Structure 1
């Protein structure tokens, strides 16, 4: 309940006056939590140190998210019993002969009738007897030019078993979905710090365990557990940081964590280049997680969470310590009060559910469009990120370039968003989709051009993914905003699960995956034109505001424009 001064007492009934009366000297020292953060420093030495601790795990989260690009890679290969020439006649192994780039016909999974076929690549297609029947009886021979070992080379995940590799990636992405739901609820109950520490510990243990997996099925189970911890850490670290950061610095702080993930994206290319064995690579990205044990001593709790759970004294002690680190002290008798807004009181009177997102016509249209935008952005983002080997260039260089474009893609949105949310969303997702679609017309011989187009596509999708966070929070009305963001996030995770499976369409056409990654964003761009412009506009509070149109409620002067506080809420 807000505090009123003596001069305001006559405006209230007698009973209310007695309830809320507070001496003026106490009122002057009463602040809400954001006011307290401003008083002790919204982004001082304490917060900057906190973000160092938050950003370090982000690098390793990027490692775990993208390491399957290298550990699950499929080098050129052939079956020893199907290609007996190299095994029995001592001819030099030339793995480039197993694939005819011009025709797109892959000889890795075919059997040859004539021994001379291997020596004469031009005759290989004519003399092949088609796909092998009954699997490879003599074992697989893999090129070691790029990779010493991968899960594909160790467990024979090629040809008829190649689907298992894609399903393994999908199961890992399912872990992200489960982790977001599970650890999100646990964090609200036990606190951000606790879940971050638990997540880091489980991630280190199961990550190292993955390096010693005896078979593929144990491997994907361990990867699934690691996926749940990635969601636990990345989500709660972001929340912990924003809950300690002042209102004016929250958007910048969010970008800092994004840059840390991008840095991990780039760094993984170098680590994987130096470590070509998948077990050693998995161990290298997981074992350092045990060093995060010192976070028990340095990672603070969330004072905002402590207050929300009635632990006010503990929260105040933590705030005073933060103020001491920042060189700013609070008055000893300062008190905090909870500030309630009118729409929060109204929402308490009328409970809203997820069903309200699709109950009314206009709200249903906007919700379904936003759900699709989240889905398609994550689908294409991970579809491109996890399959960089398809573009024909050096896989390590491609990984480095794809990580590099993350930085400008996330930065440019800071300058375009203030002008127009709608045009920014439309432009970037259209650029991403168009670039992906154009790659299908580029011949395999022009691998550099294909990679450049894929890089442009990655740039557009990354920027679009950054924008859809804030755009969604502005379109959904206050009473169902959190439900809308939650459902959108679920749709995004579904896109991540489907992304690896899309590449199974290569069995029917090698252009099919990139065609999907091109057409789906272009459809999203068209649907974006049906969304309202929200830049520098007041936010809708109720579903009625949305249904009656923005022209009406734009005239309501008591509504406030979108703030960084809403941006933070959209990222949680």
Structure 2
């Protein structure tokens, strides 16, 4: 909206008010990471075999080893089969020892688990093994489905009723259903509760991003957004320590959920977006918030500047269809959606498979978290120097290349595979942070929530698919990494079709988006001249106009 950036500069673009806001919104980001990836540890595979205690009825003095040797077949590696057993017989123990058993069948009386390291997991409590082993991965996809539903609901709803109420509602969902999941009596109940937690997480992620973007000035916008991502990465490192210390999945779920209750004082201190209030015609509320921000920042907004707010016309909120009405916005929407899809697909694909790279899962998780902190912080530095478009493309290309190289590495080289996975995680984490900044700047205010929400929907689709792609490894171990590697390379090429938004003011109306798009295309040489060449003076005037908007 014309004049808002000038008023925000007068109030302080990144003063004490904005810094406190960013810090407050970083706390939910920290907690979100624990919720998102805790199931990686709650569902750790545990060594198991069929329960064959039937033989003790006829051979009470058998040792454990003798029992297993007589009742369980061995696989081609020489270890006991996990999902089959010899069919029980009515012979005496001497006959069994002399002739042996040959007929096999699936486990009939449940399984016996090695709980020496993991006290209780989803696997051991709900028997998610053998014919049900895919259910753990599918449950991760259902959690990601919750993120998708949250994006569909809370993206448009945030544009209609505001950013603040959605954040508070999402925190409530995360607390109530997260704690409830810790007491789930059945696996399907646990999955349903986790799905609702995912809905709440999505609401927080989208509205945190938009609220910060709309309160912070142009120069500090990327910093403010990525700082919350750094807290997300810190949460990943903390999760590694919590999971190492807490080997009961119910207690880990409870410990990850209860701290959300500590942030419910937000109901009194989290402000609404002044920019959003202006677009809704609520000028007096916006004025009070801007004056409050200026007071906290020890700044003064000239009275004549505030008076200009009364002359602003109400801008109707856009909808999803507005993203496709103009050619420029349509292209931005489609490419942004694909970028988010790829980032999510690869990010969750690597993160959820942290235990499949051959090294200790807790150590690998700790390294992944530390590397992600560096990736997020590094994104701040490269964005300031090279802009959004080049950085997004470079990170996607590097991450995809690392995953493609993994497909050519033998499985008996776990250290090398882990190093390449860390490089891939570093690049994609950085790319993900950049995409948050980039998307929030590409879409105008009246459809920003819808644009970011639709992009988030695409990301959630990637998150849903990622665990399922991991299951393709049962056919060939290289298939998942081939997919995780090829899709980012394609996305990197598409980045060059987007406009650059570095150091540009936020757009408020969809018409402005078309002007800025045309300006960028002209600057980058994509604009086709029809009859005459545009003079350098006309080009400069066009750039000045788009910057002012």
Fold-level match, TM-score > 0.5? Answer: yes
Equivalent residue for 1:118? none
Residue of structure 2 aligned with 1:271, choices 233, 242, 250: 242
Change (3 A) 1:104 1:262: farther
Q: Distance in 1 between matches of 2:67 and 2:36?
A: 34
Equivalent residue for 2:487? 520
Residue 225 of structure 1 pairs with residue 192 of structure 2: no
String of CA shifts for 1:211-268, please: whole Å, max 9, x gaps: 0001011111100100000011122122222222233322211121111111112111
Equivalent residue for 1:335? 307
Residue 301 of structure 1 pairs with residue 272 of structure 2: yes
Equivalent residue for 2:92? none
Of residues 98-107 and 388-397 in structure 1, the stretch that sits farther from structure 2 once superposed is: 98-107
Which 5+ residue runs of structure 2 have no aligned equivalent?
Answer: 89-99, 505-512
Equivalent residue for 1:19? none
Residue of structure 2 aligned with 1:405, choices 361, 364, 371: 371
Equivalent residue for 1:108? 82
Residue of structure 2 aligned with 1:153, choices 97, 100, 124: 124
Give SS of 2:219's match. helix
Change (3 A) 1:378 1:507: same
Q: Does the Cα contact within 8 Å between 1:200 and 1:233 map onto a contact in 2?
A: yes
Equivalent residue for 2:423? 456
Residue 200 of structure 1 pairs with residue 171 of structure 2: yes
Give SS of 2:287's match. helix
Residue 550 of structure 1 pairs with residue 526 of structure 2: yes
Give SS of 1:141's match. strand
Q: Does the Cα contact within 8 Å between 1:211 and 1:279 map onto a contact in 2?
A: yes
For residues 19-168 of structure 1, the aligned pairs below 5 Å read 32-81=3-52, 89-91=63-65, 107-111=81-85, 133=105, 135-168=106-139
Q: Distance in 1 between matches of 2:291 and 2:137?
A: 51
Q: Distance in 2 between matches of 1:420 and 1:91?
A: 64
The alignment's C-alpha RMSD in Å is 4.3
Of residues 150-159 and 237-246 in structure 1, the stretch that sits farther from structure 2 once superposed is: 237-246
Equivalent residue for 2:463? 496
Residue 324 of structure 1 pairs with residue 295 of structure 2: yes
Change (3 A) 1:476 1:106: farther
For residues 238-277 of structure 1, the aligned pairs below 5 Å read 238-277=209-248
Change (3 A) 1:306 1:448: same
Residue of structure 2 aligned with 1:466, choices 408, 433, 437: 433
Cα drift, residue 150 of structure 1: 1.3
Q: Does the Cα contact within 8 Å between 1:477 and 1:542 map onto a contact in 2?
A: no
Equivalent residue for 2:358? 392
Equivalent residue for 1:541? 515
Q: Distance in 2 between matches of 1:562 and 1:38?
A: 20
For residues 499-510 of structure 1, the aligned pairs below 5 Å read 499-510=466-477
Q: Distance in 1 between matches of 2:251 and 2:194?
A: 16
Q: TM-score, normalised by structure 2?
A: 0.79
Q: Does the Cα contact within 8 Å between 1:536 and 1:562 map onto a contact in 2?
A: no
Residue of structure 2 aligned with 1:287, choices 252, 258, 262: 258
Give SS of 1:335's match. helix
Cα drift, residue 338 of structure 1: 7.7
Give SS of 2:264's match. helix
Equivalent residue for 1:28? none
Q: Distance in 2 between matches of 1:50 and 1:476?
A: 22
Cα drift, residue 108 of structure 1: 2.6
Q: Distance in 1 between matches of 2:166 and 2:224?
A: 21
Q: Does the Cα contact within 8 Å between 1:477 and 1:543 map onto a contact in 2?
A: no
Which 5+ residue runs of structure 1 have no aligned equivalent?
Answer: 3-31, 115-126, 567-572
Cα drift, residue 82 of structure 1: 10
Of residues 246-255 and 477-486 in structure 1, the stretch that sits farther from structure 2 once superposed is: 477-486
String of CA shifts for 1:122-142, please: whole Å, max 9, x gaps: xxxxx9989x74x42222222
